[in-house]
Amino acid sequence: MGRGVDDRAPDEKEPPNDPAHGRPWLRGEMLAFLLALGGGAMTGQGCAQEPARNHGLQEEVRLPEPRTSGPVSVEEAIHGRRSVRNFRTDPIDLPQVSQLLWVAQGITDGNGLRAVPSAGATYPLETYLIVGEVQTLAPGVYRYAPERHALHLLQPGDLREEMATAALGQSWIADAPITILVAAVFSRTTGRYGDRGRQYVHMEMGHAAQNVYVQAEALGLGTTMVGAFHDQALAEAAGLPSEELPLGLLPVGVPR
């Protein structure tokens, strides 16, 4: 076994490494282009207007507050869940995006603890949103920032075909309006637990994926966990930082 649970108080723990630091971000003219495409979403329409903290970023999309109750019970969502690979062309909306990212890695507690358990609260997972068709959000690859409940644009453009190609040609992935990509910085967890930490990271991916499955079902959406892909091709297509390894894709859409 590993070295056991981390019994330090949350405020004694080192903050998760933020890979956004030092990343090149959009130039002003690209922001103007995205504002034109994305409308109010790029300026946080529909959510609290807080000034951005300095992450080395200038542009972000604040997501609507996630809801903590809904009309579908956990039991019903688990019972109804199936892997869905056939999607209608309908776009999904920002409140649905907000909900799906919040269950994957959102913060649920004043001490920064998240919707998904994490060995020693080391939080090795990084969550990305590949946008094809979302109301008020331009196509592109976005990084989810749990502490802001916001999206930060990594690269604009519709990359769904590239994702499908990297996933061994699973062409149905390109039909999904969004895909959630979960990547990991293994050193955050192996740094505390040694090699055993690698297993912990994969366990955490499973927790995140199941939350997305159950939340998608409760929203009338569908998803499939995709583990078959070329790591390097996927990482390059999404523009992941070199220390991050992609662990899974979750295309989400309205079931056909």
Ligand X SMILES: Cc1cc2nc3c(=O)[nH]c(=O)nc-3n(C[C@H](O)[C@H](O)[C@H](O)COP(=O)(O)O)c2cc1C
For residue 131, what are its two tokens?
């946008």
Residue 82 touching ligand X (CB under 6 A):
yes
Q: If you ran DSSP here, which 8-state letter would residue 115 be given?
A: S
Residue 105 touching ligand X (CB under 6 A):
no
What's the one-letter identity of residue 99? Answer: Q
Q: At what angle do helices 94-105 and 196-218 cross, to 10 degrees?
A: 150
Residue 85 touching ligand X (CB under 6 A):
yes
Q: Which is nearer to ligand X, 52 or 245 (CB)?
A: 245
Contact track, ligand X, 125-164, x by CB under 6 A: ----------------------------------------
Tell me the backbone φ, ψ of residue 228, rounded to 5 degrees.
-90, 100
* Closest separation in Å from C-beta 84 to ligand X: 8
* Closest separation in Å from C-beta 82 to ligand X: 4
Closest CA to 255 of 100, 132, 87, 89: 87
Tell me the backbone φ, ψ of residue 209, rounded to 5 degrees.
-65, -40
CB 197 within 8 A of CB 6: no
Q: Which of residues 207-246 bind ligand X (CB under 6 A)?
A: 224-228
Q: Which is nearer to ligand X, 29 or 79 (CB)?
A: 79
How many residues of this chain interact with ligand X, rule: CB under 6 A? 9
Residue 201 touching ligand X (CB under 6 A):
no
Q: Which is nearer to ligand X, 48 or 228 (CB)?
A: 228
CB 40 within 8 A of CB 136: yes
Q: Is 4 left (phi over 0), alpha (psi -120 to 50) or beta?
A: left
Residue 179 touching ligand X (CB under 6 A):
no
> How many Å apart are CA 247 and CA 144, to the nearest integer?
16
Among 58, 83, 86, 171, binds ligand X (CB under 6 A): 83
Contact track, ligand X, 24-63, x by CB under 6 A: ----------------------------------------
Interface residue list for ligand X (CB under 6 A):
82-83, 85, 170, 224-228
